[in-house]
Structure 1
Amino acid sequence: MFLTRWGLDQVTDSATLALTELVANVVRHVPGRRCSVLFLREPHGLRVEVADGVACALHAKAPEATAERGRGLAVVEGVTDRWGVEERRDGKTVWFECDG
């Protein structure tokens, strides 16, 4: 992955897992399955943004023990240093940061 070329070997696994979870949410919940992904090399590490056209509040919550779904944002929270949601007029951007 290009993170190696950026000198971010130590965050590659976490960033890959978090990105996979966010894109999976788009596939499951966004009509048309459209999104944009932005990678930003920051002084402290990496910031990744996934933007889509559906406005809704997101939060990491613990699903029922027997639930088959609902752990994605908890995974993002667990493997990244920071994450959040920015509401926009035309949807939302879910972002995370991994310190390098």
Structure 2
Amino acid sequence: MDRATLDKQPEAVALARDFTRNFLGGIHPAVDPEDAASVELTVSELVTNVVRHARGTTCSLRLLAQPDGIAVEVADADPRPPRERAPDLTAGTGGFGWPIVQQLAKAVTVSAGAGGKTIRAILPR
């Protein structure tokens, strides 16, 4: 298991991807390259959603290697759950991330409380 706290700044997305690559590179047995790319994309999308939409100044990223998958948890101080919206192909305001996460993951859960929410996605290994 590895954990990182990230400031809610645009550079957090690149830091989260680097953190994820380092984590995946250090676990055995190794993760299939295609599955590793899916984990990295999921982390990138979840952290991007925090930077763009969540309240608060930080988020946390937790990665856990399981025998049959990789668990990705992103927590922030905003209790509002993610919402799906129509993808915006002209103004560049997104709308793609949440559906991508739901499609790549074997399971996605959102746990919300007064202190914020945690999104947990389990991806193939």
What TM-score bracket applies, with the shorter chain setting the length?
A: 0.7 to 0.9
1:54-78: per-residue Cα shift (whole Å, max 9, x none)? 011224x361564642111001112
Inter-partner Cα distance in structure 1 for 2:57 and 2:97: 17
Distance 1:28 1:8, change over 3 A: same
Normalised to the residue count of structure 2, the TM-score between the two structures is: 0.69
Stretches of structure 1 that go unaligned for 5 or more consecutive residues are none
User: 1:72 aligns to what?
Assistant: 97
Q: Which ranges of structure 2 fall in alignment gaps of 5 or more residues? A: 1-20
Normalised TM-score (structure 1): 0.84
Runs of 4+ in 1 over 3 A off after TM superposition: 64-68
State, as a whole percentage, how many aligned pairs show the same letter: 31
Distance in 1 (alpha carbons) for counterparts of 2:87 and 2:36:
30
Alpha carbons 2:54, 2:78 under 8 Å: kept = yes
2:124, 2:71 → 1: CA distance?
A: 9
- Distance in 1 (CA, whole Å) between partners of 2:87 and 2:105 is 23
Partner residue in 1 for 2:108: 83
Q: Tell me whether 1:93 sits opposite 2:113 in the alignment.
A: no
Q: What is aligned with 1:18?
A: 42
Q: What SS does the aligned partner of 1:85 have?
A: strand
Higher relative contact order (CA 8 A, sep 6+): 1
